[in-house]
A and B are shown apart, each in its own frame.
Chain A
C-alpha cells in the first residue's frame, strides 16, 4: 500500500506524519501522535467517544481517514484542556457527576466544547441535541446535562 505524507495542525502544533490510507484519523492521533486522550470505543461511528473538532466542526475521529486530514486544523481533548487543572467544562463534569468510568468523557468534552464555542447560553434541548451522538453507559446523561447547564450559567456570570 502506498504511504501518504500528511501535514496538519493539532492543538495549534503543525505535524507531519506518514500514514496508510486505511488508518482512521483517530488511529493516527493515538498511534502516531501519542494523543491517547481521544478514545476509540466502537470504531464505526456509533459511540462518539472519538469526537474531535476538525476545522471548527465536530467530527467522529473514527469516521475520517488520516489522509483526509491534510491541511486541517484539529482540536483534541488535550488541546481543549489547560496545562494545569481542568477546563470549565471538565470541572463541571467532575462536580456534577457527569462521568463515572470516563470512557466517553473525551467525546463528551469535545461535543460540549463545540456547543459552547457556537452558543454560550444553550437551552436544555440544545444541550441534549449537542450530546445526542455521544453514548454514556454510566451516568444516565442527567449529570452531564446538569454539568452543561452549570457551564452555561458560569459563562453568563463571566460576561
Chain B
C-alpha cells in the first residue's frame, strides 16, 4: 500500500505548471487535492513517473462573481465552496451537492477541479455542473479552451482534458432565485452513491414550475440529463403524483451500470425514487424562496 516512486514538482504559477506538463510529457500527472489520486497511487492503479502538484498555485483557487457569472478556481477546496455564502446564495445546487461529497477531512483537501477531472461516475460535482450547464476552462501552452459540461465528462474517469491541458476554472451562471436539491442513496453517508439525482427548479409568479433541470448520476459512465421529465413538469405545481407521472418519461434504457453488488434492475428502481425526492425537495425550496 505504498506508492511506486515518482519525481515531484510543486510549481508556484500556472505557467510554470504548464511548462512542466509539456517538458515531462505523458508520464507526468497533475495532482490537485489528491483525495482520489493518492489512493490510486497507494493501490498502484496509477504509476506516474512525475507528479506536478497544483497546491502551491494561488491563482487556481477562489470563488468570485463577475456580473452574472461565478468563477470558481479549479483548486478551490470542496470545504471552502461548501462554506461559501456566495455559493449557497447563487449556486444552491452546488452547495447541496457538496454536502454529499466524501467527509469533512476529504472535503478539506479535495478540490472541485480535481473531482471534475477525476470523473468518477458516482461523483456529485459532474452532475451538478451538468445541471448548471457550466463551462470548463482548460489551459495549455497553446492557450485556452472552453468546454461545456455536457462535452467535458466523456465516460468513466474520462474527460475532454487533452495532454498538456489543466482544468483551471469552472464558470457557472448564477442562479440565485431557484430551489435546488441533490439526493442520493448510499449505504453510509459520504460513501459512493448507488444512484443520485440533482434537481433545479425555478417558479413563475403563479407558483408553477417555470424551468427545471434533472440529472441522475452514478447509474451510467456519465451523468444523465432528463429534459423530457422536466419539460413535462413546466407550468405545474409539484406534488408526488405530478412528479411521478412526469418520471414515467424517464428513459431507464440509459441506465447502464450493472455490478455484482448493485444490479441494473435495482438502479432502475432507485434512480426514479432519487429523482422524485430531489424534484420535490427543490420545488419546496423554490416555494420557500418565493414567500
Contacts and interface: CB of A to CB of B under 8 A. Distances in A.
Interface of A: 1-2, 4, 20-24, 27, 42-46, 48, 51, 54, 57-60, 62-65, 67-68, 70, 111, 114, 128-130, 132-133
Contact of B6 (A22, A24, A48, A51): A22
A24 B31 CA distance: 14
B188 interface: yes
Contacts of A111: 104-105
Contact of A133 (B3, B5, B104): B104
Contact of A64 (B3, B109, B189): B109
Contacts of B51: 21, 65
A60 B33 CA distance: 11
B123 to A, nearest CB: 15
B105 A60 contact: yes
Given A59-B109, A62-B38, A62-B42, A21 B103 contact: no
A2 B8 contact: yes
Given A43-B42, A132-B189, A65 B34 contact: yes
Interface of B: 1-8, 10, 34-35, 38-39, 41-43, 51, 53, 55, 79, 102-106, 108-109, 188-190
Contacts of A114: 104
B53 A68 contact: yes
Contact of B105 (A2, A43, A48): A48
B210 to A, nearest CB: 33
Contacts of A132: 103-104, 188-190
Contacts of A27: 2
Contacts of B38: 24, 44-45, 62-65
